Structure 1
Amino acid sequence: MNLFGLWFDTPWAFLGLLVVPLLVWRVLRRARFGRVPAPAAESMSGQPQGVVARLWWLPDALRIATITVLVVALARPQTNDRQVITGEGVDIMLALDVSASMNAVDMSEEALETTLAGGEVPPNRFDIARKTLEDFVLSRSQDRIGLVIFGPEAWLKYPLTLDYARLVRTLRGLVLDSGFQDPETGKCLNGCTVSGAGTAIGDALGRAYNRLRRTTSKSRIIVLVTDGKSEGGTLDPLAIARHIASLPQDEAVHIYTFLVGTPDRTWLPAVDFRGVMRTDTRGLPIYQRPQRAFATDPELLRQIASLTGGKFYESYDAEKFQADVKDLERTVFKTKVHVNHTDIFVPLALAALLLLACEWLLRFTRWRSLV
């Protein structure tokens, strides 16, 4: 039982306090009905009243205090010293989709117009995913985190590390493929980090797992963020998931999958025939509906998560994605609070003994004639 910030191990002992009102009533009754000790009564006749006579009730008060303190001691009060235990670190591989479809903006037409009217460029799927993952990385303290990016293939961008600042700089340095290539070189026109012509989910899972299987951490997870279905690459994502699911418990890897975006409120930057983004008079991008809906495969992501003991999230906009990542943190990174109970029975028992000694001392000295 918790009371006044203390934990009481045997709260039933408080039943002993029922005797206290009876003792108080007994003392008050003595005073009310004139059963006052002789020296005190003599003072009422006009004689000077001494200290002893005025404090005739003190031995009784000490007895009541002794019983009260003793009862509290028998209830075994203990202080609560809370100790936060973060546990061992978790090894985490982030697998981030950098395909060209991540350029899409997911919001209603009204919200898009409002954002542009305010002179702001609306964040696309990639911007939202990157910023949310940056915040996620910076919120960790003992977890090693690595980064894999994937388009038509998968690349390891950063190995498992505790250097969160450098990992975040790597995330911020990623340039998404605009979706248009130089006809002569085949390279993207905007100096993208990697080509965005594909979504090799299987390769991404394979690379991420390859890093995690070499670690000795007891907790290992993959966080997969994508907006499309598996296209390109050489590895079957379900085959990777089934292999991971077959591992013994001490080698387990849990995969948490995030499907970002929604086909119902999708906008893409408009481009001219040269593949250059069109802008308005303020230099802001002009947006248009995509000619065809982006292919997605939520069932695949759901299966991957289910097979490996992870969880599937369908994050249709920025707010939902951020909330889902928070849910991931609550699910995987449970903070444990250990409460140390320090018993204070002995100090209270000694206090009760001291009060009892004082009462006896009074009853066998000058107060003896009053009781």
Structure 2
Amino acid sequence: MFEFTYPWFALALVLPILVALAPAHLTRFRAVKHSHFEQFQALSQQKLSKGAVKLTPLFWQRSLVILLYLSLVLAAMRPVYWGEVNTIETQGREMLVAVDLSGSMEARDFADEEGIEQRRIDVVKNLLEEFLSQRESDRVGLIAFGDAAYLQSPFTSDFITLRQLLAEMDVRMAGPGTAIGDAIGVAVNHFEHAQTTHQTLILMTDGRDTNSNFPPIEAAHFAAEHGITIHSIAIGDPASVGEEAIDMEMLNRIADLTGGVVFEAQDASDLQQVYTQIDQLEPAVFDSYSVRPKLELYYYPIGVVLALILTALLVVLLKLSRNINKGEK
């Protein structure tokens, strides 16, 4: 659709009409005073004229002025062309990631490519870095839990902030214990504000609950009633014993109750199965907004003005050049 931003500038087209109705402007010429003017006029063979005359512009001069004026008025009206309205929808999935910060996450039962031992919490951070890089169109929330569970971040697509929060996390920040059931409870409460029907919690833990006020299995039943799927990622060596042992039986029960899967994360490639599970979920529309392309056209009449001015200057220069050449001859 074509329209003018400032259509009232069209009133300026009336000004030339008012100028045309105004009295003619008379331009004075130098007169020659001579005692025998008639004889001088006869010898020069020039016709007599009035002392003031009305200048009449040539056709090209008149056309040039009209085009210049029309182009300037058109540019001042600022013509624009509006394209078709496009509706853009922000789609994706919403999920929560619960990170275990208990004392047992300090155990070093992983090794990097160079054979250097790594803490479980450092492996979790590396896995989540890989995870976030795969979820650019999704919204992710973050839960940290130890003796208690805390919502670190609501659902967000601001992965820069999420990465900063992850970098600042460390063992025992939420206490030395492990409250897996409370973390699931926090997730259930936060999912009440979700915009998706497919609700997923990724539980990253060494799987041994010690401090929950809400027992993990009961919390899993509660999550299942609310349609929440819990994928558990066991962090650590399954052969560990004592406080560092992984309670795989509990994690499997949580997964069975909520329709999730349990993974043993030995490296980043183990998360590919989690990505596949999540990618099968139908994305939801988070937000939508309309965009209408706008093309400014005022620079076209401005270009015409510049072209006409350059043409007029060229004509004047050519006339001056001819006059100079005649004078030299």
TM-score normalized with structure 2 length:
0.54
> Is 2:269 the partner of 1:323?
yes
Q: 2:93 aligns with which of 68, 90, 93?
A: 90
Whether the 8 Å CA contact 2:230–2:261 is kept in 1: the answer is: yes
Structure 2 portions without partners, runs of 5+: 1-88, 283-329
Q: For 1:312 and 1:114, how far apart are their aligned partners in 2?
A: 28
In the alignment, residue 222 of structure 1 is paired with which amino acid?
L
CA RMSD of aligned residues (A): 2.6
In the alignment, residue 204 of structure 1 is paired with which amino acid?
A
> Is 2:125 the partner of 1:130?
yes
Highest Rg: 1 or 2?
Answer: 2
In the alignment, residue 103 of structure 2 is paired with which amino acid?
A
Q: Kindly tell me the number of residue pairs found equivalent between the two proteins.
A: 194
Residue of structure 1 equivalent to 2:174? 194
Whether the 8 Å CA contact 1:89–1:219 is kept in 2: the answer is: no
Q: Deviations over 1:86-144 (max 9, x none)?
A: 9941111100000111111224xxx69963xxxxx532111011111122112212211
Residue of structure 1 equivalent to 2:197? 218
Whether the 8 Å CA contact 2:97–2:143 is kept in 1: the answer is: yes
Tell me by how many angstroms 1:294 deviates: 2.2
Residue of structure 1 equivalent to 2:32? none
Secondary structure of 1:105's aligned partner: coil
Whether the 8 Å CA contact 2:101–2:144 is kept in 1: the answer is: yes
> Is 2:224 the partner of 1:245?
yes
1:293/1:244 CA distance change after superposition, 3 Å: closer
Whether the 8 Å CA contact 1:256–1:312 is kept in 2: the answer is: yes
Q: Deviations over 1:157-199 (max 9, x none)?
A: 111111111111110111223xxxxxxxxxxxxxxx332x211
> Is 2:261 the partner of 1:311?
yes
Q: For 1:219 and 1:293, how far apart are their aligned partners in 2?
A: 34
Tell me by how many angstroms 1:150 deviates: 0.7
> Is 2:233 the partner of 1:258?
yes
Q: For 1:194 and 1:253, how far apart are their aligned partners in 2?
A: 24
In the alignment, residue 194 of structure 1 is paired with which amino acid?
A
> Is 2:169 the partner of 1:169?
no
In the alignment, residue 92 of structure 1 is paired with which amino acid?
M
Q: 1:204 aligns with which of 183, 186, 203?
A: 183
TM-score normalized with structure 1 length:
0.48
Q: For 1:122 and 1:226, how far apart are their aligned partners in 2?
A: 19
Q: Quick one: percent identity of the two aligned structures?
A: 31
Q: For 1:307 and 1:212, how far apart are their aligned partners in 2?
A: 18
Q: For 1:103 and 1:245, how far apart are their aligned partners in 2?
A: 31
Secondary structure of 1:140's aligned partner: coil
Q: For 1:147 and 1:167, how far apart are their aligned partners in 2?
A: 8
Structure 1 portions without partners, runs of 5+: 1-85, 116-120, 178-192, 267-289, 337-371
